Amino acid sequence: MDIEQEIIYELSILQYLKQILRMEVEGGRKNKHPCPLHPSKNNTLEINKDLNYFYCSSCKSEGDVIDLHTLIMGKTIKNYNRDQSIDYLRTFINI
């Protein structure tokens, strides 16, 4: 298993939202929450727990936990990329 797969396996999007973004989230199989990528009070971020995958019906962003972190950090740090996300998340989950 490569490092990306290990991160995706070890860190669910729900854990990421709870532990890193400090969002209050539910743990159902499929659930919706406000998207952290844009201002909205609507629950447009759908999380598929089984696939550990997200999709926002408003901004059309989608992907795995690494993609989500890259998109969030890219809003404040110019040229933030997937490799930087992998480094951060692997340190966060201690692998």
- pLDDT, one tens digit per residue, over 65-92 is 999 999 999 999 999 999 999 999 999 9
Predicted local distance difference test score (pLDDT) of residue 39: 92
| 2-15 pLDDT tens trace | 999 999 999 999 98
DSSP state string for 23-79 = -----SSEEEE--TTS--SS--EEEETTTTEEEETTT--EE-HHHHHHHHHHTTSTT
For residue 18, pLDDT over 90 is answered with no
Full-model pTM? 0.89
